[in-house]
Structure 1
């Protein structure tokens, strides 16, 4: 026996029975206290873990996808998932406003509805796959940009800041904190840090993609060779057309509910539409005006439009513009000659009747222009107006709750004509027009730079503005006055126009774009195996 144990035994032998009991109880309490301390520490750890779990920190940091060796967590992938989902929801809502279906039901979960009927792919699967595809594209572009030493332009940096400012602005307007607003837009695991990172990555990717594609340029000889092989898509076509609908007679059941048309009923109605198309063609070939005849066969709600002799008269479309239409192949057929008139069926919904006029390689139709304008807004009563600023020619949004009267429009037009006459009576230069624009234009977007809009592309501006800019035969120095309209076609004032510069001829622009797209895609596809995206099931389950 060791000396210490002997000493302890002698001490115990000298204790009374009561002291021995007290000593045992103290030992038990000591052990119990140790157990309580350990158990308390375990409970605290568990509570902390639960708090962290419910905060989303663990889930947010869970890897949902990888692109090569780079990991992306659930919060980062959610940015791409909700970007495509939110776009789909917004489109569905816009279609619903016009009584149309976009194919997505906003009252159902994405997993409850089919995106692709052939494969059975659900919208949930589509959103996630598109998110992964878009993530891969961004990582690829960012990676290639860094390899090339490409850095963001000042415009890119401004775009990033604008996106951040918009979140701050709209979160405040909506009564949310910035953090809560981001979660509302991009899901539970979104944070301001993740959002900022993804915005910066996306802007860099978009900018580098545009920059890289712009590096592809082609000589006139190369464009000419491309034209020879693709003239049908690059030539400009002149034709008229109308649509004759098949009017299916509907029936109702005993409860008064409208019954869906049968295939037999649709076929019978289509047969009538074809017969009407043949009658119309016969009348046109006999010498009657196309639009006059069309009014007798089209739907009642469009018949009045054909009172305008130029309604549905197409004069400046390239073959590529109409290639996806039901009548595109008919119009661009190489055998087509002036005066050809025919019809093309559109399933069982009706027929297009087309009158062919011409096909040429146009050398005076342009893709982009630089244009100056002076906007003269018609006055409206102060009580009826809710806009302090006037719309730019690219803005088709209604900006007033009341429309100008005929007298107010006449006054605005008179002022526009007076300004144009004043310019013609003076130096009649670009500089003198710019001065008048700065002094008189109601367009706050251009009345400090001489009314100038540069690089205006087809379809960018409101219809009347666009049509004037891209009219066949337009020349530098041309002037005119056109109506300023809202999205419903209501006249709000007038534009005094001045053509500053003509851009690239349209067929050349399209040929260059086609060639560049092909070369860009070859480059991009060659990088396919360099940036492989893989989903991680555990993390992807948290996305959406």
Structure 2
């Protein structure tokens, strides 16, 4: 390709404005973009104000923590700081201008860099990547940079330098984004091995790798790139081999997502006067054209799909009762489960007062939850006993939910006195306990329960907030009331019809806000305790539940119109055993596959790797 051709390919220049029609289209697109930018600016301003408020709370808690000598109080404050940090990160989390589907493809393609941001950086500053025009991208598109193959050489891929540049841009930008996010959340990037200055040369700064060796940041990112390429191409080649040497088809949804993402980039490219290929090359490196981008995103999809397929096959494996019993014998402590009423207070003093006022039969547990609830939403929500009920929860469930009773001992961080009390063989129904900020009342003591898994459908009706970003629990009373009316109307429509699972599934497809279950009619199969929010879980695991039961249940996310399908074939502990056994089998398969493949870097081709993604003059 001649230099003139390359420049013509990079810059659409006059070709975009060759006729009035194109000019008008470009002007219209520009005007639309300006409107969107203005709207985004307002949203950012609003989000910044919210962040400032939360940051102020975080700073106050940090100051309180620094002055505190009580270890339990310090741990509690740390938990509150963590929750506020998560809340901080949620503000404006979806304000990056990408639709959910676009975000999904970006993650699938190894966190594909937001090319728009990179392009703005390069174009706005007038900087270009070192040797950009001089190299004409020919070495990147022609020379082999690496080879991934299996041990006998029957499966092999010669990977061009351009692919390395593509992955380097992804890895670099992902690292930079993570650093920015940690800083925004009030976390010190140094604690997360992100102490790199992106305004300086990567080759002049050092860090520690996974083997605790001192390496430059350029070497660190290079190693990450090689590892990513090896992993993706291992599964891609294995998938191809399993499909008679041909690339497997990606799903229709994946094709659609890729097409929409490229179209978004194409529109942005034209806005800046570039073709899509020129746009990608400018932002991601030599040789990263539209075809290369499409190829690598597609192969990443294929790799992910094959890895999921291996996992699914392991999940489909049938195990015997003997297999489950052997697992139970070796993991009895992990499988112990309890039924409890449980409440997390805002302070230890509140927890002590709650416990002191608690009736022996816990008849006032719900009322006390409402009294000590942290805000207006929960004072109303706790009217439903399900909000404070946990059925069949294991120690791990409680740890994952962050209850104070599931925190480690202050001294050695290894023992869990709260859990030791709760899961002790001495416990009996009616026992109550206060540990730190947690108050618990035992409904059923620890045992390996024979409660079966549940199959359930639901339709989530989330309150419609003005900006569609406010958490449901922060919606107004009016918005919650509207959501309830809508849920009631849908349930009435169901009851007026065939009242069967099929009709409920169709209503779910048409109405639910839960994107995770929308396509399959709101269905969740083999649900186990601790998997869903408390109120949802309490309803489905109620011992009186029978097939065809319906109800409207409230949670932090909105109103759930419930339809109980029935129980699964396995008990909850057997299902846990099956998941663990299949996970072990899946890990064995992937480990075997990964050992069979390796990557070899081509010395000559590696001379053309583009590592100066930072504007490195």
Q: TM tier, shorter chain?
A: 0.5 to 0.7
Q: CA deviation at 1:88?
A: 3.8
CA pair 228-484 structure 1, distance change in 2 beyond 3 A: closer
- Residue aligning to 1:511: 577
In the alignment of these two chains, the number of paired residues is: 433
Partners in 1 of 2:607 and 2:498 — Cα distance? 69
- Cα-to-partner distance string for 1:303-344 (whole Å, 9 max, x where unaligned): 99799588776545444445677737526657464358586x
2:186 paired residue number = 99
User: For 2:147, which of 66, 70, 73 is the aligned residue?
Assistant: 66
- Local SS of the residue matching 1:452: coil
Q: Deviations over 1:173-198 (max 9, x none)?
A: 47354224434664444222222222
Give how far 1:166 is off. 0.9
The corresponding residue for 2:407 is 327
Q: 1:523 aligns with which of 589, 599, 604?
A: 589
**d(CA) in 2 for partners of 1:405 and 1:341?**
35
Whether 2:172 is the aligned partner of 1:77: answer no
After TM superposition, give the deviation of residue 159 of structure 1 in Å: 1.2
- Is the CA contact 2:344–2:437 (under 8 Å) kept in the aligned structure 1? yes
Runs of 5+ in structure 1 lacking a partner?
A: 1-49, 246-272, 344-350, 388-396
Residue 203 of structure 1: aligned partner: 301
Judging changes above 3 Å, is the alpha-carbon distance between structure 1 residues 470 and 210 closer, same or farther for their aligned structure 2 residues? Answer: farther
CA distance in 2 between counterparts of 1:116 and 1:183 reads 29
> Is residue 2:193 matched to residue 1:128?
no
Of 335, 352, 357, the residue aligned with 1:234 is 335
For 1:291 and 1:421, how far apart are their aligned partners in 2? 29
The 2-side partners of 1:302 and 1:86 are apart by 39
- Retained in 2: the 8 A contact 1:114–1:122? yes
Greater fraction helix: 2
SS of the counterpart of 2:597?
Answer: coil
Which structure 2 segments of 5+ residues have no match? Answer: 1-130, 150-155, 409-414
Alignment partner of 1:192 out of 260, 281, 290? 290
1:371 equivalent among 457, 478, 498: 457
Farther-moved stretch of structure 1 (165-174 vs 110-119): 110-119
Change (3 A) 1:468 1:416: farther
Report the alpha carbon displacement of residue 532 of structure 1 after superposing the two structures with TM: 1.9
Partner of 2:67: none
Q: Does 1:499 align with 2:552?
A: no
1:108 to 181, 192, 198: 198
Q: Could you say which residue in structure 2 is the equivalent of 1:359?
A: 446
TM-score, structure 1 normalization? 0.60
- Once residues 506 and 410 of structure 1 are traced to their aligned partners in structure 2, the CA distance between those partners, rounded to angstroms, is 36
Residues 1:90 and 1:479: Cα distance change in structure 2 (over 3 Å): farther
- Structure (1 or 2) with the larger CA radius of gyration: 1
CA distance in 1, matches of 2:484, 2:376: 30
2:225 aligned counterpart, secondary structure: helix
**Alignment correspondent of 1:145:** 239
2:522 match: secondary structure: strand
Q: TM-score, normalised by structure 2?
A: 0.54
> In the superposition, relative to structure 1, how do residues 90 and 505 fare at CA in structure 2: closer, same or farther (>3 Å)?
farther
**SS of equivalent to 1:532:** strand
Decide whether the 8 Å contact of 1:241 with 1:312 is kept in 2: yes
Q: Does residue 534 of the first structure (1) align with residue 600 of the second (2)? A: yes
SS at match of 1:142: helix
Alignment correspondent of 1:391: none
The correspondence of residues 237-386 of structure 1 with structure 2, limited to 5 A, is: 237-238=338-339, 240=342, 314-321=390-397, 327=407, 330=416, 335=424, 337-338=426-427, 339=431, 357=442, 358-364=445-451, 366=453, 369-373=455-459, 375=461
Deviation at 1:279, TM superposition (A): 8.2
Contact 1:237 1:360 in 2 (8 A): yes
Flag the 1:98–1:361 CA change in 2: closer, same or farther, 3 A.
same
